Structure 1
Amino acid sequence: MSASPLILPFSDIGAEALPLAGGKAVNLGVLTRAGFPVPPGVCLTTRAYRAATEGAGLGDVLDALATTPAGDVTALNELAARARALVLAAPVPPEVAEAVRHGVRGPGGPSGPVAVRSSATAEDLPHASFAGQQDTYLNVVGEEAVLDAVRRCWASLWTDRAVAYRAANGVDHRSVLLAVVIQEMVSSEVAGVMFTANPVTGRRHEAVIDASPGLGEAVVSGSVNPDHFVVDVATGRITGRRPGDKLLAVRPLPGGGVEHVGLGDGTGSACVTDDQVRALAALGGRVEEHYGSPQDTEWAIDADGALWLTQSRPITTLFPVPESAAARAEGGPRIYFSFSVAQGVYAPLTPMGVSAFRLISSSISALAGNPVADVTAGAPQLTEAAGRLFLDVTGVMRGRAGRAVVPRLLDVMEARSAVVLRGLFDDPRFGVTRRSVLPALRRVLRIARRFRVPSNVVRAVLNPGATRGRVERLRSRLRAELAPLPESATPLERLDRVERTLSARTVPLLPHVVPGPIAGFAMLGLAARLLGGRARPGELTTVLRGLPHNVTTEMDLALWRLAGRIRRDADAAALLLTVPATDLARRFHDGTLPRTVQRELREFLAVYGVRAVAEIDLGVPRWSEDPTHVLGVLANYLRLDDLSQAPDEVFARGAAEAAVMIRTLAARAGGLRGPLVRFALGRARALAGLRELPKFLVVTVLAAMRAELAAVGAELASRGVLDSPGDVFFLTIGEVRALLSAPPADPAGSLALVAERRAQADRERLRRHLPRVVLSDGTEPEAVATAEPVDGALTGTPASAGTVTGTARVVLDPVGAHLEPGEILVCPSTDPGWTPLFLTAGGLVMEMGGANSHGAVVAREYGIPAVVGVAHATEHVVTGLRITVDGTSGTVTTT
């Protein structure tokens, strides 16, 4: 500690000084050393904070904070208050006080009044800004006043908001220290903030500037309506302006401190000139170029017209811009569609999960007649950003065929994405360049002929039972093919099998399965056309209630029946209701659960253990490996007391309602149309349930390949190249092959790479906002058009008819989620791992999806009202709120 300085001038602070100077001081030092106009100042380092607080008695508070959940706000606030009191009561060590006095009056330091600003070591970081979490004191005059402000800055490391922010972001309170910036005040005539990328739309190189008279505190604190400008950084063109009333200014007082001065309505004139706005944007562009990433800056203009930078930090809320190989080859603006979001997976995929999809995409590309040179690199249209998969759909959207087909498919799968893509039709950057539909039609017909899809669709309509039999035989053959390699197989042989299976075997399975659901939904469409306007809203979806032959529904009902058998064993039921699911999972693997639970759960997992939450990620443990979620769901089922609302009863009632609706609609059609409507709807019920099977087959393949890779991981761990077998999923196929082919002399590199990727994944799991569609300039088209709800009403896509009023339960992760029977599930999206929760839900509200998305299909089959594609539902609805879900009109309202 003694080797560390107490005081550093900005000119001596570089990027490596974060542990000593904190984020704010580091950025001011970097800007100063790069020649940007920064008011001079010094940094009182974290060594001073350590010296002042080491005897303050914070240990007990830190111990308590380490065990306090992030959601326990009351406890966090109480502990924060104790910490603040302890820090404020601690005396400033004499050597620290002398260092402050010397820094204030010494060379290189500020002259005149200063700003005393907190600079935490967890602050202004690339993944979390921590903006405004600690305190700043302006226009501080005199050494003793500076010392008092320093002490209060130290204490502000323990404000309620700072403690809560660290807890929410998973930052260890013990790891955070505080430095203090002491910086010369700029007596500004006008000041404000500037983002070098648009923080709302995501558009890069578009500066957004807020300006108001006086000190920048008025703008930063949000106490004034500033002038607002949007500037194209490249050209300096001001593309948007909105004058603010600027009714308030913060001004320095002669003896220290500040005052709030009322001003007249300033809407009629801007407080900065256009030339100053352009100069600010140009300065912001240089700052961004220096850092290599968009920046959130604070600035001031003094009485002489000089422009000063008083802060710069990364804009942490921007989603990183994807870049595909197709974009690198072709150039120009691009449209990226989020495959992850469309699949209901909000968490980042593991690197091996991304690698698996690159292999699968190579197979799709080859099937379409465009083989790729390197199958591990994947199709040029597939890319990844922030651990999420994106598809470059620019080429598709520039073709007439793509524009006609893709949005219509998304209408029933992910409706809001369809709206966003249609909104780009008039953008001249993405105009149609391929007007003929013939090339696309020829490709589709070639694939259809190769796999005899048209004839199989006809066969499915004529004999649904035979189609289901063929599909079941395919499933049996697949299970046999996926049997694990013998123990004698080498790691390279296992890796070869994974690469071969994913790149050549998986995708060709699907054309053998899709004719059934194609036929089913074609029959539903035929019935709709025959009925014309005779079918009322919600009636056709009623036909799909209690739909048979759906592998996901069958799984959920099998789990419900398992709960019923456990219910009859009082001791076993009591165990599941009282023991945490994690402990039960451990007992299952030890073979020490009650016989009923042990045997029945093993049989269930033998069929459905390939599934998982976020199951499209090969790197995610399957239920057969970790049945914690399944055991938690079983406990939820055991809490259902009203057996008239039991899922199998509800499912049976739904099937009966569907049969009645078929007869009603057929009678309403009348004449020759009646029998045709009855036939078409009957075939829809017989075949549409197969919709879930293609994904189940893919997931089955992924689970088998995961097992092979786990064996490879075990071998690499035994060699010391990895810490544990599971680390293999934080590498790519190519990286694993390199480790197997030429083992490194020093394994530190692979160990460090895995550790960094695990840490990055942990950070990414905290990201709440994921764009459905993002452009190559960072623009999120949906953000431009999204409107806030009016009077609590939210709108989306009707997914399952009916109306229900109940208590909302917002669930962001289904693992360990507790849903009381009848509660309305509000969630970002779903995959089959979520659907056991549907069995006790009274209704469903989902941010993603369309009328034929996975969650919508299962909700209809269970007969629960559902609205999907509701923007920001998990933000506007809170747990415990009474809401009404109208699955016929697509609205969600508070009651």
Structure 2
Amino acid sequence: MASLGPEQEGTRTGLLVDLRQPASATLAAVGGKALNLGRLAAADFPVPPGFCLTTAGYRKAAPAELDAVAARLDGVGPDGARLDGAALPDEERNSLARRAREAMMAAPVPPDVDAAVREAYAKLGSGPVAVRSSATAEDLPFASFAGQQDSFMDVMGAGAVVEAVRRCWASLWTDRAVAYRTTNGISHREVGLAVVVQNMVHTGTAGVLFTANPVTGTRTQTVIDASPGPGQAVVSGAVNPDQFVVETSSGRILQQPQGRRPSLTGPQLHELASLGDAAQRLFGSPQDVEWVIDGGGKAWLTQSRPITTLYPLPDDDPLDGQAGPDAAGAGSGPDPRIYLCGTLLQGLTRPITPMGLSVLGRMRGNNKGPWRYANPGLRMYVDLTPILRNKSGRQLLEKMLPLADGRSAALLPALLDDARFSVVQPPRKRSGRNGDAAPARTRSKGAGGTQSLGQFAGLIPGMVRALLWPDRELRRARRYQDNLAARLVLPSPASASRRLQHAEEILTTTINGLIQATLPAPALGYLMLAAARTLLRGIAKPRELEAVLRGLPHNVTTIMDLELWQLAVSLRRDPEASRAFTELKPAGLAARYRAGTLPGAAQSGLREFLAKYGHRAVAEIDLGMPRWSEEPDHILGMISNYLRVDDPEETPDRQFATAAAHAEARISELVERAGTVGRLRGRLVGLCLRRTRQLAGLRELPKFCIVMVLAQMHRQLEEVGAELVRNGTIDAAGDVFFLDFDELRVGLRGADLKGIVTRRRRLYDVELRRRRIPRLLLSDGTDVEAAAVPPPAAADSLTGTPASAGTATGKARVIMDPVGAHLEPGEILVAPSTDPGWTPLFMTAGALVMEMGGVISHGAVVAREYGIPAVVGVADATTVLRNGQSITVDGAAGTVTW
């Protein structure tokens, strides 16, 4: 298309942009679709000629009523102040969207806009055109908005084009577009809509291509969907397209339709894959490209937008604002690597704040040990490649992975057979007189291996003390906890710089000593359980020993849960407090607690509880997460749950006492059975199992103390954040958790950190909405589980890893976040994963079903201790099961049926 002539510019200033001359175009002016098409056209990609009516046209046409509607959708009042309260109900939101659409359709098209569109359409030849919406909140790196606004094909005649433009404007306010913007946190007041008008291509074949496999995440594959006829049919799902998978670098066809003539030839597939790869290189990230092939065989690109659903590559640095290796060629090197998601093993599906990741990195020595880590998607992954390429490592992985995560273990055989991860024998070098190098296998241990051995050796004296004098070791652990709490306090007053220094110092000076002081006793407890299992071989089945772990004493998390239950019992006796918890939701109760206006018993009882446990949190290993002392909503919700327990047999303290009595009875039974084989064996079994019950409950103490350290760091950094807010360096005190220590030091010297925080918060918000997290991730982006062929599923059951024996039938309660969760006594808790922040829910749950984990994962261990049936590693449990659905959990068979 020819560019606009000087004689036409007077009436069209700011209204029209030629797609082939987009130099001055911006996202705010032309929207995502037009901006990307313009970049493609300027780079000589085959793009149909056309023009863009900018957002200036939309602004001219938009009636004043839209401002009020958009403000209400944004939760802003007439005076510009943000309204408090929950998000709008769907019905009200949809009603406002309909009002905006109707207002836009009723508004006249301004004369200068009408004239500009008609003249530009005439210059295109007045033939059939495509009229397509191009929103400013569209084709963004974090949200594609695919299909949210309307497009119209084969529009003929100037009047019809103008009317199609009006309908595109109105489609900015479809229910789906408004809901999508709300979900992605994009302001309705700031969004605008441009319109792209292009000559129609007489289509022979059309479709879409993805420059990375959208299902598996593999960046080295191009996936092409194609069908004869218009591409809109493929995009809308109106036809079942042919699907092709092509290896991008070589053009090799990995998958194509079988049993019929495919809609694309080999040369056409190669051309499309090459065009897609070139577009990916142009934009710097994997692309979702719409294409058509005309009757003459020429390929045209009609749209390109980023694929926003891919999980980030392991090499992506979440603390670096630059584009990672998602660009062309990512992950295609000769040295593939495989990573296991340690975040999921910790019971977390949510991302970790940048400061939280930074602190976890420091705690593990910033990759100076034997393990290597990566943080794609703001989650912690451990590099398993060296283990898979080592014979001994493979054997260890085959033993340990099924205990930690059954679903990952199910994928292990295929990985062991994958030639890319075959065992590598390190070259051996002899040490000679001239100081030749030592054998490679010795060198590979390095300082990290030596450090790990040294740390293990440091635990041995404590384990010996625990074996010989368990009560003394229990008292020693409690003293350490009290002394640690005193050492963490920073005397006031203190400057922001001193607070920042203190936060760093307590991290570096406490962690190693903390592990040495708190880990030996519980480690010995579980070693004694393993010894008992060996002594009972042939006498008792291994699963019979599960009962020994029920109702364990000295577990600080269980003690906490029982104290919370006792608080609920005391509040039940207080009519005013009981009425407040019946009438108010957790957020309302929390607001009254902060104001000091809860009923007296509740105010003082909660204050005392939080004085002991307020440092804890949901997802508490993340330094950036608010502590219960800051946001007690979760604890208040748990109290509300406990107040609904009416059956005396279902009370947590009664159930815990019953579980403990069952454990003692099982020990007596096992000792007696072992004694029939030999008196000494019986005594040894008794010693092992009683040491297990004395010491294994301390397994929560190391983490409890680590969380004390993190909570004190959190408190100091909040104060630093308040100072930075006063200085204008950041907008909110919580922004400090989206920075690292070095950046905070720079901020205290006056640097503006708002841009960095904004970018990282946006990434964090995107990851918060992600539902699927790869448990095993290859360096080329492949989600190993997604790439595996799933076994056929039964219509009325799910299977997972047996985690805690027993059978329970009840109503499912799917809970994605424990904060504010409602769980009726006896209901079956269905969750993606759990950490200690979830444990108050276990006290009244009838059973547990969890998508993640293995037999030693947190949820499984706690379920066994509380004596409730559990099945873990159940794929898609939170989406297949529905609230209120009656299900049966068999914790021994590992099944969930309905």
TM-score by length of 1: 0.88
- Structure 1 residues 660, 444: CA separation in 2 closer, same or farther (over 3 Å shift)? farther
- Structure 1 residues 364, 220: CA separation in 2 closer, same or farther (over 3 Å shift)? closer
2:781 paired with 1:778: yes
**CA separation in 2, counterparts of 1:15 and 1:829?**
49
* Residue equivalent to 2:14: 5
Aligned partner of 1:879 among 874, 880, 883: 883
2:103 paired with 1:97: no
Which amino acid in the other structure matches residue 427 of structure 1? D
Which amino acid in the other structure matches residue 766 of structure 2? R
Name the SS for the 1:497 alignment partner.
Answer: helix
* Residue equivalent to 2:266: 274
**CA separation in 1, counterparts of 2:269 and 2:465?**
68
2:173 paired with 1:158: yes
Can you list the C-alpha shifts for 1:279-317, whole angstroms capped at 9, x where unaligned?
A: 111111100011110001111111111111111110000
2:549 paired with 1:544: yes
- Structure 1 residues 597, 16: CA separation in 2 closer, same or farther (over 3 Å shift)? farther
**CA separation in 1, counterparts of 2:299 and 2:86?**
45
* Residue equivalent to 1:491: 496
Is the CA contact (8 Å cut-off) linking 2:316 and 2:376 kept in structure 1? no
Displacement after TM superposition at 1:203 (Å): 0.8
Displacement after TM superposition at 1:855 (Å): 1.2
2:596 paired with 1:591: yes
Is the CA contact (8 Å cut-off) linking 1:363 and 1:507 kept in structure 2? no
* Residue equivalent to 2:72: 63
Name the SS for the 1:24 alignment partner.
Answer: helix
Can you list the C-alpha shifts for 1:130-169, whole angstroms capped at 9, x where unaligned?
A: 1112222222222222233223323322333323323333
Which amino acid in the other structure matches residue 5 of structure 1? G
**CA separation in 2, counterparts of 1:404 and 1:542?**
29
Displacement after TM superposition at 1:434 (Å): 5.5
Is the CA contact (8 Å cut-off) linking 2:353 and 2:624 kept in structure 1? yes
Name the SS for the 2:234 alignment partner.
Answer: helix
Which amino acid in the other structure matches residue 708 of structure 1? Q
- Structure 1 residues 15, 270: CA separation in 2 closer, same or farther (over 3 Å shift)? farther
* Residue equivalent to 1:259: none
- Structure 1 residues 480, 733: CA separation in 2 closer, same or farther (over 3 Å shift)? same
Displacement after TM superposition at 1:4 (Å): 6.0
Displacement after TM superposition at 1:390 (Å): 2.3
**CA separation in 1, counterparts of 2:11 and 2:786?**
51
Displacement after TM superposition at 1:323 (Å): 1.9
* Residue equivalent to 2:453: 446
**CA separation in 2, counterparts of 1:515 and 1:769?**
36
* Residue equivalent to 2:246: 231
- Structure 1 residues 820, 3: CA separation in 2 closer, same or farther (over 3 Å shift)? farther
Displacement after TM superposition at 1:639 (Å): 2.1
**CA separation in 2, counterparts of 1:649 and 1:16?**
70
Which amino acid in the other structure matches residue 866 of structure 1? A
Can you list the C-alpha shifts for 1:818-876, whole angstroms capped at 9, x where unaligned?
A: 22222222221111111112222222111111111111121222222211111222222
* Residue equivalent to 1:283: 275
Aligned partner of 1:299 among 291, 295, 302: 291
2:643 paired with 1:638: yes
* Residue equivalent to 2:420: 429
Aligned partner of 2:256 among 223, 241, 249: 241
Name the SS for the 1:833 alignment partner.
Answer: helix
* Residue equivalent to 1:730: 738
Aligned partner of 2:186 among 168, 171, 179: 171
Aligned partner of 2:230 among 194, 198, 215: 215
**CA separation in 1, counterparts of 2:106 and 2:452?**
79
* Residue equivalent to 1:811: 815
- Structure 1 residues 576, 132: CA separation in 2 closer, same or farther (over 3 Å shift)? same
Which has the larger displacement, 216-225 or 545-554?
216-225
**CA separation in 2, counterparts of 1:449 and 1:135?**
63
Name the SS for the 1:600 alignment partner.
Answer: helix
* Residue equivalent to 1:197: 212
**CA separation in 1, counterparts of 2:727 and 2:157?**
63
Which amino acid in the other structure matches residue 7 of structure 1? L
Which has the larger displacement, 793-802 or 398-407?
398-407
Unaligned stretches of 5+ in structure 1? 244-266, 371-378
**CA separation in 1, counterparts of 2:35 and 2:456?**
64
Displacement after TM superposition at 1:734 (Å): 1.0
1:786-865 aligned at under 5 Å gives the runs: 787=790, 789-865=793-869
Is the CA contact (8 Å cut-off) linking 1:40 and 1:110 kept in structure 2? no
Which has the larger displacement, 668-677 or 722-731?
668-677
Is the CA contact (8 Å cut-off) linking 2:63 and 2:104 kept in structure 1? no
Name the SS for the 2:147 alignment partner.
Answer: coil
2:508 paired with 1:503: yes
* Residue equivalent to 2:44: 35
Which has the larger displacement, 143-152 or 596-605?
143-152
- Structure 1 residues 661, 3: CA separation in 2 closer, same or farther (over 3 Å shift)? farther
- Structure 1 residues 413, 512: CA separation in 2 closer, same or farther (over 3 Å shift)? farther
Aligned partner of 2:612 among 603, 607, 613: 607
- Structure 1 residues 876, 434: CA separation in 2 closer, same or farther (over 3 Å shift)? farther
* Residue equivalent to 1:138: 153
Unaligned stretches of 5+ in structure 2? 1-9, 76-82, 318-323, 326-332, 427-439
Which amino acid in the other structure matches residue 763 of structure 1? V
- Structure 1 residues 174, 442: CA separation in 2 closer, same or farther (over 3 Å shift)? closer
Displacement after TM superposition at 1:69 (Å): 6.5
- Structure 1 residues 559, 122: CA separation in 2 closer, same or farther (over 3 Å shift)? same
Is the CA contact (8 Å cut-off) linking 1:65 and 1:76 kept in structure 2? no
- Structure 1 residues 419, 515: CA separation in 2 closer, same or farther (over 3 Å shift)? farther
Displacement after TM superposition at 1:702 (Å): 0.9
Which has the larger displacement, 535-544 or 267-276?
535-544
* Residue equivalent to 2:747: 739
Is the CA contact (8 Å cut-off) linking 1:846 and 1:870 kept in structure 2? yes
- Structure 1 residues 786, 590: CA separation in 2 closer, same or farther (over 3 Å shift)? farther
Report percent identity of matched pairs. 51
* Residue equivalent to 1:681: 689
* Residue equivalent to 1:512: 517
- Structure 1 residues 430, 101: CA separation in 2 closer, same or farther (over 3 Å shift)? same
**CA separation in 1, counterparts of 2:274 and 2:280?**
10
Can you list the C-alpha shifts for 1:440-465, whole angstroms capped at 9, x where unaligned?
A: 697488325641x3454344344432
**CA separation in 1, counterparts of 2:290 and 2:558?**
55
**CA separation in 2, counterparts of 1:212 and 1:483?**
68
Displacement after TM superposition at 1:563 (Å): 0.8
Displacement after TM superposition at 1:57 (Å): 6.1
- Structure 1 residues 101, 851: CA separation in 2 closer, same or farther (over 3 Å shift)? same
Can you list the C-alpha shifts for 1:80-100, whole angstroms capped at 9, x where unaligned?
A: 444433433333333332222
TM-score by length of 2: 0.88
* Residue equivalent to 2:434: none
- Structure 1 residues 527, 449: CA separation in 2 closer, same or farther (over 3 Å shift)? closer
Which has the larger displacement, 331-340 or 594-603?
331-340
**CA separation in 2, counterparts of 1:139 and 1:396?**
58
Is the CA contact (8 Å cut-off) linking 1:801 and 1:886 kept in structure 2? yes
Which amino acid in the other structure matches residue 453 of structure 2? R
Name the SS for the 2:26 alignment partner.
Answer: helix
- Structure 1 residues 489, 93: CA separation in 2 closer, same or farther (over 3 Å shift)? closer
* Residue equivalent to 2:561: 556
- Structure 1 residues 91, 396: CA separation in 2 closer, same or farther (over 3 Å shift)? same
2:779 paired with 1:764: no
**CA separation in 2, counterparts of 1:234 and 1:732?**
38
Displacement after TM superposition at 1:384 (Å): 2.0
Can you list the C-alpha shifts for 1:163-203, whole angstroms capped at 9, x where unaligned?
A: 33233333333333322221111111111111000111111
Displacement after TM superposition at 1:273 (Å): 0.9
Which amino acid in the other structure matches residue 489 of structure 2? A
2:31 paired with 1:22: yes
Which amino acid in the other structure matches residue 712 of structure 1? V
Name the SS for the 2:177 alignment partner.
Answer: helix
Name the SS for the 2:473 alignment partner.
Answer: helix
